[in-house]
Chains A and B, each alone.
Chain A
Amino acid sequence: MADGCYRIFPLGDNALTIEFGTDISELLNNKAISLAGYFEAQPFPGFIETVPAYTSTTIFYDLVTVRNEFAGFATAFEAVENIVENVLDKLDKASENGSRIVEIPVSFSESRALDLDFVAESNGLDRSEVIEIFISKIYRVYMLGFLPGFAYMGEVDERIDLPRKASPRLKVPKGSVGIAGRQTGIYPLESPGGWQIIGRTDVELFTPHEDSLCFLRPGDLVTFVEVETSLQ
Chain B
Amino acid sequence: MSLLVTKEGIFTTVQDLGRFGRKRFGINQTSVMDAAASRLINILLDNDQSEAVLEMHFPACEILFEGDAIFALGGADFGVELDETPVENWRSIFAEKGSVLRFRQKLSGNRAYLSVAGGFEVVKWLGSASTNLAAKIGGYKGRTLKKGDQIGLKTKSARSEFISKQISRSPIPPYSQFPVVRIIVGAEYELLTPLSKQALKQNFTISNDSNRMGFRLSGEPLCLSETKELLSSAVNFGTIQLLPDGQLVVLMADHQTSGGYPRIANVITRDFPLIAQLGSNDKVAFQLVSVEAAENLALEFETELNVLKAGCKYSG
Q: Which residues of A contact B (CB under 8 A)?
A: 9-15, 17, 19, 22-24, 36, 40, 48-56, 58, 60, 63-64, 67, 74-77, 143-150, 152, 188-189, 191, 206, 208, 210, 213-214, 218
Q: Are A49 and B25 in contact (CB under 8 A)?
A: no
> A63-B269, A63-B298, A64-B299 are contacts. A12–B239 as well, Cβ < 8 Å?
yes
Q: Mark B177-193, 1 if CB is under 8 A from A, else 0.
A: 00000001111000000
Q: Which residues of B contact A (CB under 8 A)?
A: 20-27, 125-126, 132, 134-137, 184-187, 228, 230-239, 256-258, 263, 266-269, 291-292, 294-295, 298-299, 302
Q: Are A144 and B187 in contact (CB under 8 A)?
A: no
**A13-B268, A48-B21 provided; 9 other pairs, C-beta below 8 A?**
A10-B185, A12-B239, A15-B236, A63-B295, A63-B298, A145-B26, A147-B26, A147-B134, A206-B26
Choose among A10, A40, A58 the residue that contacts B234 (Cβ–Cβ < 8 A): A58
9 A-B pairs in the complex with CB atoms less than 8 angstroms apart:
A11-B263, A51-B23, A51-B258, A60-B23, A64-B302, A75-B291, A144-B257, A148-B27, A210-B126
Q: Are A12 and B267 in contact (CB under 8 A)?
A: yes
Choose among A12, A152, A213 the residue that contacts B27 (Cβ–Cβ < 8 A): A213
- In the assembled complex, the Cα of A204 lies from the Cα of B22 at a distance in Å of 18
- In the assembled complex, the Cα of A54 lies from the Cα of B239 at a distance in Å of 19
Measured between C-beta atoms, what is the minimum distance from B242 to chain A in Å?
15
A-chain residues with CB within 8 Å of residue B137 when the two chains form the complex: 208
Residue of A nearest to B289 (CB): A13
Choose among A22, A74, A152, A188 the residue that contacts B230 (Cβ–Cβ < 8 A): A22
Residue of A nearest to B134 (CB): A147
A-chain residues with CB within 8 Å of residue B230 when the two chains form the complex: 22
Measured between C-beta atoms, what is the minimum distance from B235 to chain A in Å?
7
Q: Are A53 and B298 in contact (CB under 8 A)?
A: no
> A53-B234, A143-B258 are contacts. A148–B269 as well, Cβ < 8 Å?
no
Q: Are A51 and B257 in contact (CB under 8 A)?
A: yes
Measured between C-beta atoms, what is the minimum distance from B33 to chain A in Å?
15
B-chain residues with CB within 8 Å of residue A12 when the two chains form the complex: 184, 236-239, 266-269
Q: Are B234 and A208 in contact (CB under 8 A)?
A: no
Q: Are B269 and A208 in contact (CB under 8 A)?
A: no
Residue of A nearest to B21 (CB): A49
- In the assembled complex, the Cα of A24 lies from the Cα of B229 at a distance in Å of 11
> A11-B234, A12-B266, A17-B234 are contacts. A214–B26 as well, Cβ < 8 Å?
yes
Q: Are A74 and B233 in contact (CB under 8 A)?
A: no
Q: Are B258 and A149 in contact (CB under 8 A)?
A: no
B-chain residues with CB within 8 Å of residue A146 when the two chains form the complex: 26, 256-258
Measured between C-beta atoms, what is the minimum distance from B136 to chain A in Å?
8
Q: Are A213 and B22 in contact (CB under 8 A)?
A: yes
Most chain A CB neighbours (cut-off 10 Å) among B187, B239, B295 = B295
B-chain residues with CB within 8 Å of residue A149 when the two chains form the complex: 25-26
Q: Are A152 and B232 in contact (CB under 8 A)?
A: yes
Residue of B nearest to A47 (CB): B21
B-chain residues with CB within 8 Å of residue A9 when the two chains form the complex: 186-187
- In the assembled complex, the Cα of A69 lies from the Cα of B203 at a distance in Å of 39
| Leading 3 A-B pairs by shortest Cβ distance | A145-B258, A58-B234, A51-B234
Q: Are A189 and B269 in contact (CB under 8 A)?
A: no
- In the assembled complex, the Cα of A150 lies from the Cα of B292 at a distance in Å of 35
Q: Are B234 and A148 in contact (CB under 8 A)?
A: no
Q: Are B295 and A76 in contact (CB under 8 A)?
A: yes
A-chain residues with CB within 8 Å of residue B25 when the two chains form the complex: 144, 148-149, 213-214
A-chain residues with CB within 8 Å of residue B231 when the two chains form the complex: 22-24, 53-56
Choose among A11, A17, A40, A60 the residue that contacts B20 (Cβ–Cβ < 8 A): A60
Choose among B135, B228, B233, B267 the residue that contacts A58 (Cβ–Cβ < 8 A): B233
- In the assembled complex, the Cα of A217 lies from the Cα of B102 at a distance in Å of 47
Measured between C-beta atoms, what is the minimum distance from A192 to chain B in Å?
10
